[in-house]
Amino acid sequence: MIDIPLARKEKLIVQDLSDEILIYDELGHRISHLNRHDAFIWRLCDGRTPTAALLRLLEKEFGAGCSEEFLSVALQRLDKLSLLQRPAPKRARAHVA
């Protein structure tokens, strides 16, 4: 299981919209709109920050209502959009229907 997610940066055109992000994927020819939570998480996926630290940063930014499951689902969503170079942790897949 990989616990240190890494955001994909190649072949993406990224437009910051304050606390949200609009991304055009040149490989998949699709546009993704990341809400403020997903954008915050994606920006922190630097390949050095473990998911436990991501969770602490998420809680600090948005409050204690951000659970491990919330982070896992967000990472799975980013993975599904092909915005992570590394797959989301396996525990994330268990929470997504």
45-90 residue pLDDT tens: 999 999 999 999 999 999 978 899 999 999 999 999 999 997 655 5
Residue 3's pLDDT is what? Answer: 85
Q: Which residues contact 7 (CB under 8 A, 6 or more apart)?
A: 42, 43, 45, 46, 78, 83, 84, 85
Tell me what pLDDT residue 86 has: 77
**How far is 26 from 20, CA to CA, in rounded Å?**
19
H or E segment to which residue 13 belongs: strand 12-17
Tell me what pLDDT residue 31 has.
97
Does residue 96 have a pLDDT over 50? Answer: no
- Tell me the pLDDT of the chain averaged across its residues: 88
Q: Which of 52, 95, 57 is nearest to 73 (CA)?
A: 95
